[in-house]
Amino acid sequence: MPVFSVPTRRGHTRRRRLAPISEWRHLLVPTKRLEVSCPRGLHRATYKRLVNEYNRVLDELAALPRRRLWPRMRKAYEHQFLNRIVRIRRRLGLPTPKPRARARYRTGEAALFLGVSTKSVLRWTASGFLRCERAGGWAAHRYYTVEELRRVQRILKT
C-alpha cells in the first residue's frame, strides 16, 4: 500500500494512506477484456469501435498504478476511465453499477440514476419535466425523490 506525503498549510506534512484502485475496481467493472456479441440495433462498426475503446481504457486503467502521478491526478484519471467504461457498457447493453438506494438524490446522483448528464437533469428541472424539492434557507440545493426519478426513467425507456 503506497503512502504519500501530503503538505499542509503550515508547511508540515502528514502521511495519508491511499487505497489503490485494485482494491475496489472489481466492484465496478470486470478487469477482463470484453468479448460479447453485437447487440441488435447497433451498427457493426460502432460496436467494434466501442469494444476496442473499452479494451484500450481497461489497459490504461491497469497501467495507471505504474505511472508517476500526484495522488489527486491518479484519482481523477481513475474516475475518468471508470466513467468511460460504464458509459461504454451502458451503450452495449451490459450491466452497469447502480447507485445506493436512497429516499432523495442530489443532482449528480440523480443523473447517475437516470444515466444522463447533470446538465440534462438541470434542463429538465427548469422545463418542469423533472420535479425537485429545494432545501435550505436560500434553496440552493436540489433534491429529487426516488418516485420522481423512477417516473422519468419509465418515460425515458419508452
Chain segment 51-79, per-residue pLDDT in tens: 999 999 988 988 888 989 998 998 888 88
**Chain centre distance of CA 55:** 18
pLDDT band at 4 (very low <50, low <70, confident <90, very high): very low
CB 108 within 8 A of CB 118: yes
pTM here?
0.52
Classify residue 63 by its DSSP letter: H
Q: So what's the pLDDT on residue 151? A: 94
Coil, strand, or helix at residue 55?
Answer: helix
DSSP E strands in 51-147: the ranges are 104-105, 133-135, 141-145
Q: What is the phi/psi pair of residue 7, to 5°?
A: -70, 145
Residue-wise pLDDT for 15-57, tens only, equals 544 444 455 556 555 667 777 888 888 899 999 999 999 999 9
Q: What distance in Å separates the CA atoms of residue 113 and residue 115, rounded to the nearest whole number?
A: 6
